[in-house]
Amino acid sequence: MQTANENQPAASAKEEISMEKLNEEIKTQVLFSWKALSRPFKVRTREFYTTAGSIIFLLCIIFIFLKEFLLVMAIIAFSFFVYILSTVKPEEVENQITNKGIFNAGKLYFWDQLGRFWFGDSYDSRVLFIENFEGLPPRLILLINHKDEENITTILKKYLINQKPTKSQLEKAGEWLVKKVPLESTTKP
């Protein structure tokens, strides 16, 4: 029995050494880091809210006559959600590209769960889009500085494919609707 007790400290010391080696091997190395807002944001004018409110009111009246009360509640809830997103400024988050994956807003997305990446514009901001195959969101949307785009592209090409996907029918219909039914004028007084 004494030999078993004597071997225990040696075994635990051996386990500690191997755990230290393991921690060193899987140590995350930050390749690039930046801070940005968590989502694209645009301050809306009174004209936007007036136009959107009028359209929503008319839709609700039509659906009330059709006795679609659940749809009316869904429209009102969605409208409230859009209003909140339009009035509350997003927080600033730290984004990191590491040797393990992308660290965004406190969550690590591993390389094996990510797909293509591409760049685009949204509300006068440069945006990095990355496909996410596991869980939500299906697409990571990271705001970047325009000057950092080349560095980010160089690093991401080592792990992911730089390819912009073709637009779906829903995206094309949404763009068409935005062009045909503007909620605020584009000209400045």
Q: Which residues of the chain have pLDDT under 70?
A: 1-26, 186-189
Query: Which structure tokens are listed for 161?
Result: 């494919």
Query: Which structure tokens are listed for 144?
Result: 């970047």
Record the pTM: 0.71
Cis preceding linkage at 182, omega within 30: no
Mean pLDDT over all residues of the chain? 84
DSSP class per residue in 119-167: EEEETTEEEEEEEE-SSS-SEEEEEE-GGGHHHHHHHHTTTS-B-PPPP
For 185, the 3-state DSSP assignment is: coil
Q: Measuring CA to CA, which residue among 86, 14, 91, 16 is closest to residue 53?
A: 86
pLDDT for res 137: 85
pLDDT for res 185: 72
Length of the chain measured in residues:
189
pLDDT for res 178: 83
> How far is it, in rounded angstroms, from Cα 16 to Cα 63?
67
